[in-house]
Amino acid sequence: MAIAVSHATPAASVQCTRVEWIIVVLCRLRARGVASPLMASIRLTALSKSYRAGSLAVDGASLAIADAEFVVLVGPSGCGKSTLLRMIAGLEECTKGTIEIDGRVVNDVAPRDRDIAMVFQNYALDPHLSVRGNMRFGLDRRRSYPSAWRALVSGEYRRRRRDESQQIEERVRSAARTLGIEPLLHRAPRELSGGQRQRVALGRALVRNPSVFLFDEPLSNLDALLRSEMRTELRILHRSLKATMVYVTHDQEEAMSLADRIVVLRDGVVQQVGAPTELYERPTNRFVAGFIGTPTMNMLEGTFDRVDGADAVVSWHGSSIRLPASRWGALGARLAQGCRVVVGIRPDRLAPCHPETPGSVPGRLVALERYGAQCDLVADVGPVRVTARCGAERVGSLREGDPISMAIDGNSAHLFDEHGQALATSR
Ligand code: ADP
């Protein structure tokens, strides 16, 4: 989807030109009816899929996706994301539950009649067809002609065939221009780079002008730089097309950068649905907290020790973590003394500090990873390895192997009970 990859101009101006160009071309496409998909809402109700008796790949998923929403299904490998997407596409039968697209139950509707276009990880291009042939393929198969015998006598067959072919060519060219692959239309897929192939796959979906786009890990085969560039362009494309998009990835960063809303799955079960910031700031359980965010949240397993004043105190490997009542309310009323809890701290809320700082815990720095303006400090604190992310200026003369103290701020902590469920804050 990069529009012009070989400019010698600075990155910022290239980006700006691309954005403007995409918008201009899309306006043109829309005027021609290429980029104005019907919008569609999707509703999944108690959807389950079982491939084998006794095990569920998707277990009772319910989800409402609004018109023009960009929803990302995310979770570790094998959690059921692709199965869920394939059920929406009609490529897998549902074992239980219903799928509605724009209010119509489509469980028994064939994939080709669901007005959906799907883009796969492996591009699924026909190696025997050119880029143009691949992009035209779906439309060519849907062309409508008068019956052959009538065509023979009237000559209408040839005329309509020519007209339709020209219209399809126009749509292919417009979509190819949008995606920056017009000069490649004559090439075979084997003559393209991975990024170009993925653009062809996207173009093939775009020319169909569907109500819903489904993406199954479409960027996984690309290198990190191209992936991040294409994410941005996909987001721009979504905003311009205003189409409903459902996107599957195992990469939470990709999910965070693309989604209007994220659906986190684990073992076929939906764990949480929400906007990226909501999932980051208010994860519903330990799994979501650990899955969303980079570096991953530090999980400190301790016990609820006592109430001191109004504040709760969790003991953790000989240290005390104070959870202020101003944030947590009366935790003493919610937790039994001595019960196990997990205090979750985002790496950017953990910071190296002076050893005398109240509430700090001593440890040893095992790795110092520098990322320009930011650094990750990986330290062994008691039996636990924690990661702190901070500005490079805070590292000072620290070296790997040095003793280090970490300040734990209970005000920005997350708290999970022994079953991994998040305990709500009072604000
Ligand atoms: P994900 O996309 O999250 O990696 P999938 O939806 O592909 O996960 O798979 C979910 C579960 O269903 C996995 O345990 C996988 O082994 C199983 N599965 C997927 N497809 C099939 C199939 N065609 N036959 C049997 N089991 C399958």
Q: What is the pLDDT of residue 313?
A: 94
Q: Is the CB of 263 under 6 A from ligand 1?
A: no
Q: What is the pLDDT of residue 34?
A: 45
Q: Is the CB of 77 under 6 A from ligand 1?
A: yes
Using CA positions, which residue lies closest to atom 5 of ligand 1?
80
Using CA positions, which residue lies closest to atom 12 of ligand 1?
57
Q: What is the pLDDT of residue 129?
A: 95
Write down the number of H helices and E strands in the chain: 11, 20
Quote the CA–CA distance of 361 and 382 in Å, as a whole number.
9
Span from the CA of 245 to the centroid of ligand 1 (angstroms)? 22
Using CA positions, which residue lies closest to atom 17 of ligand 1?
57
In this prediction, residues 5-20 reach a mean pLDDT of: 38
pLDDT band, very low/low/confident/very high, at 16 (cuts 50, 70, 90)? very low
Lowest mean pLDDT among 110-124, 250-264, 278-292, 293-307: 110-124
In this prediction, residues 349-361 reach a mean pLDDT of: 84
**Contact criterion met (CB below 8 Å) for 353 and 341:** no
Identify the sign of the CA torsion 234, 236, 237, 242: positive
Strand blocks (E) in 34-180: 42-49, 58-65, 70-74, 96-101, 104-105, 116-120
Question: pLDDT at residue 13 above 90?
Answer: no
CA dihedral 348, 350, 353, 357 (to 10 degrees): 140
Please give the model's pTM, rounded to 2 decimal places.
0.85
Strand blocks (E) in 75-129: 96-101, 104-105, 116-120
Lowest mean pLDDT among 46-50, 57-61, 192-196: 192-196
Question: pLDDT at residue 38 above 70?
Answer: no
Question: pLDDT at residue 122 above 70?
Answer: yes
pLDDT band, very low/low/confident/very high, at 140 (cuts 50, 70, 90)? confident
Mutate which of 50, 82, 95, 247 to test ligand 1's pocket (most atoms within 8 Å of Cβ)? 82
Q: What is the pLDDT of residue 224?
A: 87
Lowest mean pLDDT among 86-95, 219-228, 411-420: 219-228
Lowest mean pLDDT among 249-258, 297-306, 313-322: 313-322
Quick one: angle between helices 11-32 and 224-241, nearest 10?
40
Using CA positions, which residue lies closest to atom 21 of ligand 1?
51
Q: What is the pLDDT of residue 37?
A: 46
Question: pLDDT at residue 103 above 80?
Answer: yes
Contacts of 204 (CB under 8 A, 6+ apart): 117, 119, 125, 134, 135, 137, 138
Span from the CA of 56 to the centroid of ligand 1 (angstroms)? 9
**Contact criterion met (CB below 8 Å) for 244 and 65:** yes
Looking only at the bridges linking them, the beta strands covering 244-249 and 212-216 are: parallel
Q: Is the CB of 277 under 6 A from ligand 1?
A: no
In this prediction, residues 73-82 reach a mean pLDDT of: 97
Question: pLDDT at residue 349 above 80?
Answer: yes
Say if residue 371 is exposed, middle or buried (CB neighbours under 10 Å; 0-12, 13-18, 19+).
Answer: exposed
Q: Is the CB of 80 under 6 A from ligand 1?
A: yes
Q: What is the pLDDT of residue 249?
A: 97
Mutate which of 51, 216, 247 to test ligand 1's pocket (most atoms within 8 Å of Cβ)? 51
Question: Which of 82-86, 113-117, 168-172, 203-207: highest mean pLDDT?
Answer: 82-86
Q: Is the CB of 55 under 6 A from ligand 1?
A: no
Quote the CA–CA distance of 80 and 250 in Å, as a whole number.
11
Q: Is the CB of 252 under 6 A from ligand 1?
A: no
pLDDT band, very low/low/confident/very high, at 388 (cuts 50, 70, 90)? very high
Q: What is the pLDDT of residue 385?
A: 95
Quote the CA–CA distance of 332 and 324 in Å, as a whole number.
12
Question: pLDDT at residue 95 above 70?
Answer: yes
pLDDT band, very low/low/confident/very high, at 401 (cuts 50, 70, 90)? very high
pLDDT band, very low/low/confident/very high, at 26 (cuts 50, 70, 90)? very low
In this prediction, residues 398-413 reach a mean pLDDT of: 90
DSSP letters of 365-391? Answer: EEEEEEETTEEEEEEEETTEEEEEEEE
Strand order in the sheet with 360-371: 350-353, 403-408, 360-371, 374-381, 384-391
Lowest mean pLDDT among 31-40, 91-100, 380-389: 31-40
pLDDT band, very low/low/confident/very high, at 10 (cuts 50, 70, 90)? very low
* Percent residues over pLDDT 70 in the chain: 88
Q: What is the pLDDT of residue 241?
A: 85
